[in-house]
Structures are given as structure tokens and as C-alpha cells.
């Protein structure tokens, strides 16, 4: 089985690589020093298993794991950590394994032997654990077969249509398979509900305008689209715009 090792400390990666070589049944298919590099390598090398540190600068292991769910065949994820984080209870309960550092060869062999492709139950556990922790710094979308990371700070709005949500930035739009409700819960400070099917970025609010039919629409810096604002949200949105200008 092909294994990708992810850790921001080179000695830790080297130690895991040596143990994999000694175990003999696994092939090291790459190493990465942070979550973003891990995503790129995972897409390129298609590992069966990822040994991934949780605490890393930039994009940590938990956020990277959630982005991996966008892959057509996500790898099994075994987290490594020097800390007994409370979130590990969720991983253990749903068979997303973890190893405490320093990793022992016997424990590594056991975790690898039990590892399989990520199951739906494990994927749900990762999403739930992520929602209970820090919000993502990026949104991951699959565009023409490749993974694309979109910084949260660049997103102007989320707009739901059937099973997909449109993510809009000044550079264009991509589709993701998430829900408006889950996005609203994850980013309560950054995005404001303006309609049952839309969230807009608070930092890019410019104002409100009426269309030819008398409906209120929100203006956002950086995009031409004017999303409709439902009546129940107009007063709150006016107040938010007023507070941002004061």
C-alpha cells in the first residue's frame, strides 16, 4: 500500500519513513511539510494511506483531512500528534486512527494494518470534528478533475442551487457539495444570511438596491452579481451595513 507522510518536522518524517521501510509491506510515495502541500501530493500520488500530523503551521492536519474528502477516492487517514487532543475521541470512535508521538513501530504496524479507504462514517466524523474545531481557512473544490483551494477571505458569497453551492470570488465561480446551513454554522462572523439559499461576505458589503420588480438586492465589492435579499433579512442586513460604515 502506498503511504504519504505529512509532518512539519523533518526528523519526524524521516523516522516514519524508516519505520515504513522496516515494515516492508508499504511504499513511501511522498512527504509533505504542511497541509496544503499534502493536498497537492495526495492528488498527484493517490496514496492509499496518509500519516498526517495534526498541528502544523498554515493549514493543519484536520483542515487538510476535510479537504481530502473532495477527492474521488480519499485515502485512509492516520493522524499523528504529540498532544492528547479532545478531538481525538471522535477520530477513535469512528475508526479514524491516530498515533501519539513518539510513534512506536508496533503501534504504527497495527494502525496501518487496520487502515482502509476512507469510509462514509469516517468522512462524517471528520466533518463533525472539524465543525466543532476551528473554521477552515480555505474552501476546497474539484475543478476539471483537480483540487482547487479558495481562501475564505476572497469569497464574496455562497449561493445554493439544488445539491450544489456556488462559491463566488472576483476570479469566477466554482461548485461545491456542501450545504448553506453547514457553511453558516462554520463561518458565523464572516458570512451573513440574506436568503434561504444565500450567504454573503460581511467584509465586502457595499449596500442595498431595488431591482425593477421592487425586490431588494445586495451589492458586494468585487462582483457584479446582485443577490436577492428576502424580506425577513432586509432589516438585519441594513443594520449590518450601517454598523460597518460607522
Which pLDDT does position 89 carry in this prediction? Answer: 55
pLDDT tens sequence across 221-239:
999 999 999 999 999 999 8
Question: Phi and psi dihedrals of 36, rounded to 5?
Answer: -65, -45
Which pLDDT does position 116 carry in this prediction? Answer: 67
CATH code, 176: 2.40.50.1020
Residues 173, 112, single domain; the answer is no
C-alpha dist (Å) from residue 95 to 115, 119, 140: 9, 9, 24
C-alpha cell at 176: 461545491
Question: Phi and psi dihedrals of 205, rounded to 5?
Answer: -65, 130
Measured CA to CA, the distance from residue 155 to residue 37 in angstroms comes to 22
Instruction: Report the b/e string of 19-31 with b at 16+ CB within 10 A.
Output: bbeeeeebebbbb
Instruction: Quote the number of domains for the chain.
Output: 2
Residues 16, 66, single domain; the answer is yes
Question: Of how many residues is the chain composed?
Answer: 246
Which pLDDT does position 113 carry in this prediction? Answer: 87
Residues 86, 185, single domain; the answer is no
**Residue-range definition of the domain harbouring residue 33:** 2-132
Residues 28, 102, single domain; the answer is yes
For residues 160, 165, 166 and 167, what is the CA-based torsion angle, rounded to 10 degrees?
A: 120
Which pLDDT does position 94 carry in this prediction? Answer: 45
Q: Helix (H, G, I), strand (E, B), or coil: what is residue 220?
A: strand
Residues 32, 94, single domain; the answer is yes
C-alpha cell at 214: 421592487
Measured CA to CA, the distance from residue 203 to residue 157 in angstroms comes to 11
Domain stops at, among 132, 152, 183: 132
Measured CA to CA, the distance from residue 110 to residue 70 in angstroms comes to 27
Per-residue pLDDT of the chain (246 residues; tens, 9 = 90+): 999 999 999 999 999 999 999 998 899 999 999 999 999 999 999 999 999 998 899 898 888 988 988 888 888 889 888 876 645 554 554 446 788 889 999 999 998 988 866 666 666 666 665 555 567 899 999 888 889 999 999 999 999 998 899 999 999 999 999 999 999 999 999 999 999 999 999 999 999 999 999 999 999 999 999 999 999 999 999 988 888 776
Which pLDDT does position 155 carry in this prediction? Answer: 98
pLDDT tens sequence across 39-76:
999 999 999 999 999 889 989 888 898 898 888 888 88
Amino acid at each position: 500500500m502506498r503511504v504519504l507522510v505529512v509532518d512539519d518536522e523533518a526528523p519526524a518524517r524521516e523516522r516514519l519513513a524508516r519505520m515504513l521501510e522496516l515494515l516492508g509491506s508499504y511504499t513511501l510515495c511522498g512527504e509533505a511539510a504542511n497541509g496544503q502541500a499534502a493536498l497537492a501530493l495526495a492528488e498527484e500520488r493517490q496514496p492509499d494511506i496518509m500519516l498526517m500530523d495534526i498541528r502544523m503551521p498554515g493549514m493543519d492536519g484536520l483542515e487538510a483531512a476535510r479537504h481530502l474528502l473532495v477527492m474521488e477516492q480519499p485515502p485512509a487517514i492516520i493522524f499523528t500528534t504529540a498532544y492528547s487532543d479532545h478531538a481525538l475521541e471522535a477520530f477513535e470512535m469512528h475508526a479514524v486512527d491516530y498515533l501519539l508521538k513518539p510513534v512506536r513501530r508496533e503501534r504504527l504496524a497495527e494502525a496501518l494494518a487496520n487502515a482502509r479507504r476512507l469510509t462514509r462514517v469516517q468522512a462524517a466524523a471528520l466533518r463533525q470534528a472539524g465543525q466543532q474545531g476551528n473554521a477552515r481557512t480555505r474552501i476546497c473544490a474539484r475543478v476539471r478533475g483537480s483540487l482547487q483551494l479558495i481562501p475564505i477571505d476572497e469569497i464574496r458569497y455562497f449561493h445554493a442551487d439544488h445539491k450544489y453551492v456556488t462559491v463566488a470570488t472576483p476570479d469566477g465561480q466554482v461548485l461545491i457539495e456542501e450545504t448553506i446551513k453547514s457553511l453558516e454554522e462554520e463561518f458565523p462572523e464572516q458570512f451573513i444570511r440574506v436568503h434561504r439559499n444565500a450567504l454573503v461576505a460581511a467584509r465586502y458589503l457595499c449596500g442595498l438596491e431595488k431591482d425593477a420588480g421592487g425586490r431588494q438586492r445586495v451589492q458586494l465589492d468585487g462582483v457584479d452579481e446582485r443577490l436577492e435579499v428576502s424580506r425577513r433579512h432586509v432589516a438585519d442586513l441594513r443594520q449590518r451595513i450601517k454598523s460597518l460604515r460607522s
